[in-house]
A and B are shown apart, each in its own frame.
Chain A
Amino acid sequence: AQSVTQLDSHVSVSEGTPVLLRCNYSSSYSPSLFWYVQHPNKGLQLLLKYTSAATLVKGINGFEAEFKKSETSFHLTKPSAHMSDAAEYFCVVSVGTYKYIFGTGTRLKVLA
């Protein structure tokens, strides 16, 4: 069975400092992995996705994630946080052609 674990429910960073949101996955097969962001009262927006090409994936708004098979991890990073990054972030694993399995989310708070 596939699953995804987001290791932190809340993360607080100061504006201008690095962001690290952690995600571990469990999958019997080669997974596809995604990060989505959810701003209040807005739909989920895709940040980036990994589908067995390059292990370092670059996304929108300066975010990137690295697929590490040996650690079964897909952590999301950004070198410098901006106030507008404050939101809920979801790590998603998918095996096969369509079914997404979401983590429980990490709420990012950015302090001025």
Chain B
Amino acid sequence: GAGVSQSPRYKVAKRGQDVALRCDPISGHVSLFWYQQALGQGPEFLTYFQNEAQLDKSGLPSDRFFAERPEGSVSTLKIQRTQQEDSAVYLCASSLENSAVTDTQYFGPGTRLTVL
């Protein structure tokens, strides 16, 4: 079946522009995650949704970052007034449910954001 998809795959923004990154999780998956992967680093947790509820946004680096999942399916990560340090690959992942044992997360291909 279809995996996690993300769009756009590549985004170039001028410093100060706003960007919106989209994630389509696997159908029926309850949990959705956003990660930021800087060049040469491992992904770092940004935020977590269970259905439409944003249960953890502790990893968002600043108040310029905002994520939503209004209908419990598609999610959008918005970055306002982009800065050069926002340049990274943004990964989305989904998992079937929030169980007592850590559920496997399935990752999308990512969106590579370059801020000039």
Are A and B bound to each other? yes
A binding-site residues for B, Cβ under 8 Å: 32, 34, 36, 41-46, 49, 51-52, 90, 94, 96-105
CB-contact partner of A97 in B41, B102, B110, under 8 A: B102
B binding-site residues for A, Cβ under 8 Å: 3-4, 31, 33, 35, 40-45, 48, 56, 91, 93, 95, 98-110
Number of A-B contacts (CB under 8 A): 61
Taken together as a complex, chains A and B put the C-alpha atoms of A45 and B48 apart, in Å, by 19
19 CB contacts below 8 A, A to B, read A42-B109, A43-B91, A45-B107, A46-B104, A46-B106, A51-B101, A52-B101, A90-B42, A97-B101, A97-B102, A97-B103, A98-B56, A98-B95, A98-B103, A100-B33, A102-B42, A102-B44, A103-B42, A105-B40
Nearest residue in A to B42 (C-beta to C-beta)? A102
CB-contact partner of A94 in B31, B43, B102, B107, under 8 A: B102
Q: Is the CB of A105 within 8 A of B41?
A: yes
Q: Is the CB of B42 within 8 A of A43?
A: no
Q: Is the CB of B102 within 8 A of A51?
A: yes
Determine how close the nearest CB of chain A comes to the CB of B57; give it in whole angstroms. Answer: 12
Determine how close the nearest CB of chain B comes to the CB of A74; give it in whole angstroms. Answer: 14
Q: Is the CB of A49 within 8 A of B104?
A: yes
Taken together as a complex, chains A and B put the C-alpha atoms of A90 and B93 apart, in Å, by 15
